[in-house]
Amino acid sequence: MQIKNKKIIYLNGSRLKVCIVVARWNGEITSKLLESALAALKKCKMLDKNIRVVHVAGAVEIPFALHKLAQSGKYDFLVAIGCVIRGETPHFDYVCKMAQEGVLEVMLEDDIPVGFGILTMNNLAQAKKRFHVGGEAALAALELALIK
């Protein structure tokens, strides 16, 4: 989606293939992020047969799945969807760092656009206000794939 002269123009992704990697951890949130991503891709004319969804345990596992999917050569872009909510220990910081750095490494090393739809929130209420991030991540990666 692009905004030109205050008019929304949807990108045409009808010829592209995508795989969305979704963490099962915090599934109440990640399922809504996935819905948002799928809705955004549909508005950009992406075909059902060109959209694959893969589920992994949590945010830490997302980069490995992205890397293997990128190496397959089957996809024009990827989308990472997850949700990490701060707890009482430093575990939150490590998980966020591993997920963020892993996704970045996949983009640069595997030369493939990856939409970053991994929420890193202080609490569940914050996460519930950000379901739109799934769609935004999908559109950002789609736009990069069209440039590539």
The three state secondary structure string of 67-134 is HHHHHHCCCCEEEEEEEEECCCCCHHHHHHHHHHHHHHHHHHHHCCCEEEEEEEECCHHHHHCCCCHH
Residues with catalytic function = 91
- Separation of alpha carbons 23 and 80, rounded Å: 8
H or E segment and range at residue 55: strand 51-56
Taking a C-beta distance cutoff of 8 angstroms, is the pair 81, 117 a contact?
yes
| Interstrand relation of 7-9 and 18-23 (parallel, antiparallel or unpaired) | unpaired
- Separation of alpha carbons 110 and 134, rounded Å: 22
